[in-house]
Structure 1
Amino acid sequence: MQKLNLPSYNFKLKSSENKTLIFDKLRKKYMVLTPEEWVRQHYVSFLIDEKKYPVSLIALEKQLTINNRKKRTDILVFNKEGNHEIIVECKAPSIKITQDTFDQIARYNLKLKANYLIVTNGLEHFYCRMDFEKETYIFLKDIPDYK
């Protein structure tokens, strides 16, 4: 898999039926290693190891319904009160991050009301803090560490 613009982590990999699998420490099972899953697993490790977010506050592929259609967030981080704090949208490294990507995460956030939005393809990372009064987001250089 491609080297990402994130720290390197030691992942448990195995082969099964001609597919490479990666162990997901949150879901506690092996997942098919797609380019998007590679980015998701790196970003989860980044949140836990570098930003110090507790594993207990991170959920993967959380389902939500928007306009009667079922969608899934890639990574959802809660705060201590159990409210949505961060939504992370992961794309494969080959996918260019466009306005459509931001529109997708913004639609999710109309429902979830998270304070921060992150869009990443593992090579580029965009961080935003929500300004709910002005109904916009403010780009940041980074997201805050867990307090």
Structure 2
Amino acid sequence: MLRIDYPEHPFRFKKTDEKEFIFDEFRKSWVRLTPEEWVRQNFLQYLLKVKQYPASLIAVEKELRLGELKKRFDILVYNQQHKPWLMVECKAIGVPLEESVLMQVLRYNIAVPVDYLVITNGDYCAGFVKSGIELQPIDVIPDFG
């Protein structure tokens, strides 16, 4: 498992009709604050502040097609040539990072091939680099560039 130290961030919150929302700085909109969204927002700040990934090369919750199915990836980072490079699948804290989670991100990888795959539930994080058709575990999230 990878160690992730999330940076402090002044998240913005609001409550409407008993529902909580968090402002997503990447999507520039208020989104429902779910346990998975909390993990996604913290991981985004980790990529931005700790790993120094450029915000302009990070996409959040975009649609992709798997045959007839429409799915949404959580986080996709593009490289300097604007090609998909790293994909992150976020789960709520407490959701086990089982094989089914890895299989989910691997299915997304069919539609959007990347070099690096990461799965996280906020507490735990696992990362892999693709080497041909094999996945090799990584010890750290790669630096950008």
Whether 1:116 and 2:116 are equivalent positions in the alignment is yes
Q: Which residue of 2 aligns with 1:50?
A: 50
Q: Which residue of 2 aligns with 1:103?
A: 103
Amino acid at match of 2:96: K
Shift of 1:126: 0.4
Partner Cα distance (2:100, 2:20) in 1: 30
Shift of 1:14: 1.2
Whether 1:77 and 2:77 are equivalent positions in the alignment is yes
What SS does the aligned partner of 2:110 have? Answer: helix
Extract structure 1 runs of 4+ deviating beyond 6 A. Answer: none
Asked if structure 2 preserves the Cα contact closer than 8 Å seen for 1:5 and 1:122, the reply is no
Partner Cα distance (2:5, 2:55) in 1: 22
Partner Cα distance (1:6, 1:17) in 2: 30
Kindly report which structure 2 residues correspond to 1:1-147, keeping only aligned pairs within 5 A, or say none: 6-132=6-132, 135-147=133-145
Normalising by structure 2, what TM-score?
0.93
What SS does the aligned partner of 2:74 have? Answer: strand
Identical amino acids, percent of aligned pairs: 38
Shift of 1:113: 1.2
Shift of 1:6: 2.7
Unaligned runs of 5+ in 1: none
Shift of 1:5: 5.9
Unaligned runs of 5+ in 2: none
**Aligned residues between the structures:** 142
Asked if structure 2 preserves the Cα contact closer than 8 Å seen for 1:5 and 1:124, the reply is no
Please give the per-residue CA displacement for 1:69-124, whole angstroms capped at 9, x wherever unaligned: 00110001001111100000000002111000001101111221101000000000
Partner Cα distance (1:66, 1:21) in 2: 30
Q: Tell which has more relative contact order, 1 or 2 (C-alpha 8 A, sep 6+).
A: 2
Partner Cα distance (2:134, 2:101) in 1: 15
Asked if structure 2 preserves the Cα contact closer than 8 Å seen for 1:128 and 1:139, the reply is yes
1:5–1:122: structure 2 CA closer, same or farther, 3 Å change rule?
farther
| More displaced 10-residue stretch of structure 1: 84-93 or 9-18 | 9-18
Partner Cα distance (1:109, 1:88) in 2: 10
Shift of 1:9: 2.1
Shift of 1:7: 3.1
